[in-house]
Amino acid sequence: MYSKGHGGNIYDEAINYDFSVNTNPLGMPEDVKEKLKENLGDICEVYPEETCYELRKSISLKENISEHQIICGNGASELIYGLVRAIRPQKALVVVPSFSEYIRALRAEDTQMVYYHLAPERDFIVAEDIMSYLTPDIDMVFLCNPNNPTGKLIDPDLMLDIITYCRMNQIYVVIDECFMVNMPNQKTPTEVKNHVPSPKLFKTLQEAGNWGKVVNVRTVGALNEIVANGGASNLILVQEALQEKKIAQIAEKIAGDASKKFVMIAGPSSSGKTSFSHRLSIQLRTFGITPHPISLDNYFKNREDTPIDENGNYDFECLEAIDVEQFNKDMTALLAGETVQMPVFNFLTGHREYKGDFLKLGKDDILVLEGIHGLNDKLSYSLPKESKFKIYISALTQLNIDEHNRISTTDGRLIRRMVRDARTRGSSAAKTISMWPSVRRGEDKYIFPFQEEADVMFNSALIYELAVLKPYAEAILFGIPKDAPEYIEAKRLLKFLDYFLTISSEGIPKNSLMREFVGGSVFNV
């Protein structure tokens, strides 16, 4: 790949659609053509300004960096060649396969090259062993992120390690992120927002993908093969053991810091927050810590005091639906060693109640608090930062339909919620589907912006779960009539579930997060 030259060579090779270059295969959009026509006179009458003064000035203002730190060029290739020509490195490290122009530019300056080969057995990712290639005689290193042609991203922590090492050893680092895709959302399809990196979430997703490789279950087909061959029970036990190991590691981290008195757990709907908080509490006990699991829902304001959204409905997702002042008053008192009467919210009456449940924190006591606003410091503004340990939990599925089609984590959580709502609240699948957009809006506004604030992230997805949820979900989805607005979505989900062979829930441990949805949990959730 890297020896054949620049992508887009339509003159020497029969290429119809070339995805190695970021050009539009459908041609220039008509509105762009019209704008060019309108401003053609201004373009033609201006002599080319090779320093791009006005452009650099505008970029410097937007990005808040000095214009002297900005170089503009006609495409990445021009900049790559110019950079190599200016620095004239004696020896460079290049990842292969990758964008061919790095090698061609280095060859033009007679630079000696060392190659870091991407291995198929490691899924063509740049691994930690690249650090051993950064020898003292290396002058420059080229990193394509995401890589062309593999599309693989470099782990953010590893990238930071590379940059730090190279800075200390006076090695130039060239990071080519031309193919970093930034997509608009549904609400503002004509506006592309600035990319906000999520290194912790990325690492968690990467771990999930790596786990799928370890158990050799990366696609629905691979899962179905295990089920058909009678290997489902063993897969369940291995997956549950992995989650227990992860929870134990988190508990050990908390126990190692005596200043932590509040474990704040947050995550989107149907992540398994309640079961996780109970399992974490059990693991904390093994370290001699006495945990007290508390749901932040108990601090809901009385129904009549709940804010109203733009549609005239109660907004239970917003922070203002929580009695923040009372919560902070109680937590501060507990931290000071005082005895506090804890509230219980009655969802039937819509009022907070007190039933004589008193709590006082001892030396080895800790509060395990779970709720959607757990990571937002506005909720716990009065508590010292060092007293809080933040955990973000979400169901980040590592399973794909096939090699080219991934499974949406949102779909997985929606199916979880439908099954749980039908079992615990008597809600129909249609009702859950109808309210799901509102739930998602709340997540986008109140949960996802704070996910990188977490000290640790926990992936609650179980590689086998959709095969277990299938019969429960199908039973309630088939109950949605054809004339219902939710029928189309129900039909889509049924088609999706049809890919899976069923796994019985009988073999699932009683403490599994999956029990929160299908029933039978020892935690009574």
Whether the per-residue pLDDT at 298 is higher than 80: the answer is yes
Among 72, 16, 13, 82, residue whose Cα is nearest residue 48: 72
Helix, strand, or coil here: 434?
helix
pLDDT at 122: 83
Q: What token pair was written down for 164?
A: 């730090």
Mean pLDDT of 256-270: 94
Name the band, by pLDDT with cuts 50, 70 and 90, for residue 347: confident
% of the chain beyond a pLDDT of 90 = 65
Name the band, by pLDDT with cuts 50, 70 and 90, for residue 218: confident
pLDDT, tens digit (0-9, with 9 covering 90-100), for 10-60: 666 666 666 666 677 677 888 888 888 888 877 677 777 778 888 899 999
Sequence-separated (6 or more) residues with CB below 8 Å from residue 98: 2, 142, 144, 147, 148, 149
354 vs 347: CA distance, rounded Å: 14
Whether the per-residue pLDDT at 250 is higher than 50: the answer is yes
Under 8 Å between Cβ of 337 and 360? yes
pLDDT at 187: 74
192 or 60, higher pLDDT: 60
Name the band, by pLDDT with cuts 50, 70 and 90, for residue 144: very high
Domain ranges (residues) in the chain? 51-176, 199-518
Among 295, 288, 214, 210, residue whose Cα is nearest residue 251: 288
The DSSP annotation for 196-233 comes to ---HHHHHHHHHHHHHHHHTT--BHHHHHHHHHTT-HH
DSSP conformational letter for 385:
G
Among 316, 258, 259, residue whose Cα is nearest residue 287: 258
Among 504, 499, 498, 505, residue whose Cα is nearest residue 520: 505
Whether the per-residue pLDDT at 3 is higher than 50: the answer is no
Give me the CATH code for the 51-176 domain, please. Answer: 3.40.640.10
276 or 7, higher pLDDT: 276
The answer as to CATH 3.40.50.300 being correct for domain 199-518 is yes
pLDDT at 208: 82
pLDDT at 1: 40
pLDDT at 244: 96
Half-sphere exposure of 239 (CA within 13 A, CB side): 29
Whether the per-residue pLDDT at 392 is higher than 70: the answer is yes
Whether the per-residue pLDDT at 2 is higher than 70: the answer is no
Average pLDDT of the chain is: 90
Name the band, by pLDDT with cuts 50, 70 and 90, for residue 306: very high
Q: Do domains 51-176 and 199-518 have the same CATH topology?
A: no
Whether the per-residue pLDDT at 86 is higher than 80: the answer is yes
The DSSP annotation for 338-375 comes to --EEEEEEETTTTEEEEEEEEE---TTEEEEEESTTTT
User: How far is Cα of residue 408 from the mean position of the Cα atoms in its chain?
Assistant: 12
Q: What token pair was written down for 144?
A: 């394509």
Mean pLDDT of 335-347: 93
Mean pLDDT of 430-445: 91
Name the band, by pLDDT with cuts 50, 70 and 90, for residue 196: confident
Whether the per-residue pLDDT at 499 is higher than 70: the answer is yes
For the entire predicted model, the pTM comes to 0.76
pLDDT at 271: 94
Under 8 Å between Cβ of 143 and 174? yes
pLDDT at 248: 97
Mean pLDDT of 165-193: 84
26 or 265, higher pLDDT: 265
Name the band, by pLDDT with cuts 50, 70 and 90, for residue 473: very high
Cβ burial, residue 59 (10 Å; 0-12/13-18/19+): middle
pLDDT at 197: 75
Instruction: Quickly count: other Cβ atoms within 10 Å of residue 66's Cβ.
Output: 9
pLDDT, tens digit (0-9, with 9 covering 90-100), for 408-434: 899 999 999 999 999 998 889 999 999
Under 8 Å between Cβ of 459 and 396? yes
Under 8 Å between Cβ of 141 and 174? yes
pLDDT at 151: 86
pLDDT at 4: 52
